[in-house]
Amino acid sequence: MGISSTPSAPAHTIDLRVNGRDCQVAAAPQTALLHVLRNDLMLNGPKYGCGLGECGACTVLIDGVAARSCVIPVRAAQGREVTTLEGLGDRACPGPTQQAFIECQAAQCGYCLNGMIMTVEALLRREPDPTDAQMRNELHHNLCRCGTHIEILQAAHRAVELHACARTSRSADLPDLDAPRAAGEAKA
């Protein structure tokens, strides 16, 4: 299934912030965000599945919330923080959710994986320790034709653990802001 062409309406310059970087694209404002990400910014993490907002393959985060980029006009993403699969990590240094899916080998053809990973990522940003029911509910509307649901759910649980580890190591790296004051009090 191919990606439909960009609408023939006049192109506008549109400012976007994607994966922490500011960028400009020339596109008709009603062009689907997915097409701009894939065709103009060469970010091929988000996939074209149904094009109707139903399968989840095109999921990205907009201001940290999962969104279906095939039905969101690019103009609606202006001034918002867009994160794609590429923004979570890369092959050399995958993010915790990506790492969880790798460890659990939660893919057959892999076409749905972008949507699964981004949906789990969005859930864990909102709710760091979700129940199994919350995970199932969140992933309920992401379709997997290959029937890899058991491994995907295992990966979601593993992602919770890996995110917790990442938070712990980040907080261990933080300087102890009270230490200098405590040292001063001890001297006094």
Q: Do residues 131 and 42 touch, judged by C-beta distance below 8 A?
A: no
Q: Which of 48, 66, 85, 88 binds ligand FES (CB under 6 A)?
A: 48
Nearest distance from C-beta of residue 133 to ligand FES, angstroms:
21
Contact at 8 Å (CB) between 62 and 47? no
For 156, the enclosing helix (H) or strand (E) is helix 149-173
Angle between helices 132-139 and 113-126 (to 10 degrees): 130
Least CB distance to ligand FES at residue 74 (A): 14
Compose the 94-113 pattern: x for residues touching ligand FES by CB under 6 A, - for all others: -------------xxxxxx-
Q: Does 53 bind ligand FES (CB under 6 A)?
A: yes
145 binds ligand FES (CB under 6 A): yes
Q: Determine the Cα–Cα distance for residues 31 and 38; give it in Å rounded to an integer.
A: 12
- The site for ligand FES (CB under 6 A) is made up of 48-51, 53-58, 68, 70, 107-112, 144-146, 148
